[in-house]
Structure 1
Amino acid sequence: MNPILRPATINDLDKILEIVNHSIIHTTANYNYDVQTIEVQTKWFEDKQAKNLPIIVAELDNEVVGFGSYGQFREKIGYQYTVEHSVYVVDNVIGKGIGSKLLLELIRLAKGQGLHVMIGAIDADNAGSIAFHEKFGFVATGTIREVGYKFDHWLDLVFMQLILK
């Protein structure tokens, strides 16, 4: 399985939206409750472009099967060298290396932009995502207990970080 990675275009937003909405409806990878609209996803895309923040997609057989991006960790100027990332893949390719390729590319791009730290905020019950991040050198730096609420229970959030060298 050898996906093509490329910058996302406006034409990819329907598939990105489908992936995002699946995660909202079915997982705690995304703490939103309501599915997003194409208008919201378009604004997200335009904001990323305006701030020179990447959105990359993974394509298999001309179909987008995953995407990754990062954005500012916090708004204050002192955080300007730190970003928080997201990687999503469709269910039928989880565990097949697509997420790894997306994350490696995000790390490469962040280093190229002179960034210093990449943060992952992961639901504490998502052992697979935590182990996935550890493979790339991310370390758990703390857990915020019961900070989220979804599917009728409280959710703990693990922060993981990678110092980019």
Structure 2
Amino acid sequence: MEEMIAAINAEPPVLVRPSRDDDVESMLAIYRRHIRRGIEEGTENSGVPEPDDLRQRRKNLRNNRLPHLVATFRGEVVGYAYVVPFRKRPAYRFAVKHSIYVHHEHLGRGVGRLLMQALIDACAAAGFRQMIGYIDADNTASLGIHERFGFNRVGLLPAVAFRYGRWSDTVMVQRSLGSGATEPPTPGR
């Protein structure tokens, strides 16, 4: 009987899948909140892309084998994650920089963890060897999840961002994917 009650009361799972064009407005809403939280009132250019810009960015990422994922709960987008090349020069083609954004009402529910695992798996499967991230030094939740996923702190960039009315530091994190630097890349990549 207890199992039946638990099944009835159980929340549906959060699902992670590749993003689609019809996810763009939801992703932008999540991004806008993250960006605007740290910008002074009256700032004209907050750097928020337009829907068509995000659609084009998604297309470019897909064309370059770079994952762009969303997490959904009850059919609604509650988070998204993607990677971009770490640097544009060919020598850096095996390293990516990631970003993960979670809807503010779903923080602490494991959405970031699911997106992180899916992103790591997709990048390793695509042949990338290093994943890099930049995290606000005060974001202890994000630093903690990165540590749990095997990221190491590899740098500190003091006072590189001005948000929340003050200068803030950024922590650079990195983790190996697949065989990392233990063997050369697959020929032809």
TM-score scaled by length of structure 1: 0.91
Kindly state the Cα deviation for residue 146 of structure 1 after the two structures are TM-superposed.
Answer: 1.4
Q: Distance in 2 between matches of 1:128 and 1:116?
A: 25
2:56 corresponds, among 43, 46, 49, to 43
- SS of aligned partner of 1:49: helix
Q: Does the 8 A contact of 1:120 with 1:160 survive in 2?
A: yes
Q: Does the 8 A contact of 2:17 with 2:69 survive in 1?
A: yes
Corresponding residue of 2:147: 134
Corresponding residue of 2:120: 107
The gaps in structure 2 that reach 5 residues or longer are 1-10, 40-44, 179-189
Kindly state the Cα deviation for residue 98 of structure 1 after the two structures are TM-superposed.
Answer: 1.0
The yes-or-no answer on 1:26 pairing with 2:37 is yes
Q: Does the 8 A contact of 2:38 with 2:163 survive in 1?
A: no
Corresponding residue of 2:83: 70
- SS of aligned partner of 1:134: helix
The residue identity in structure 2 corresponding to 1:161 is Q
TM-score scaled by length of structure 2: 0.80
The residue identity in structure 2 corresponding to 1:65 is V
Greater Rg by CA: 2
Q: Distance in 1 between matches of 2:47 and 2:100?
A: 19
The gaps in structure 1 that reach 5 residues or longer are none
Q: Does the 8 A contact of 2:65 with 2:126 survive in 1?
A: no
Q: Distance in 1 between matches of 2:99 and 2:82?
A: 6
Equivalences, count:
162
- SS of aligned partner of 1:48: helix
Q: Does the 8 A contact of 2:66 with 2:123 survive in 1?
A: no
Kindly state the Cα deviation for residue 39 of structure 1 after the two structures are TM-superposed.
Answer: 2.4
- SS of aligned partner of 1:155: strand
Higher strand share: 1
Corresponding residue of 2:22: 11
Corresponding residue of 2:176: 163
Q: Does the 8 A contact of 1:33 with 1:150 survive in 2?
A: no
Please show how residues 138-149 of structure 1 align to structure 2 within 5 Å. 138-149=151-162
Percent of paired sites with the same residue: 32
Q: Distance in 1 between matches of 2:121 and 2:151?
A: 14
Q: Does the 8 A contact of 2:14 with 2:73 survive in 1?
A: yes
Corresponding residue of 1:97: 110
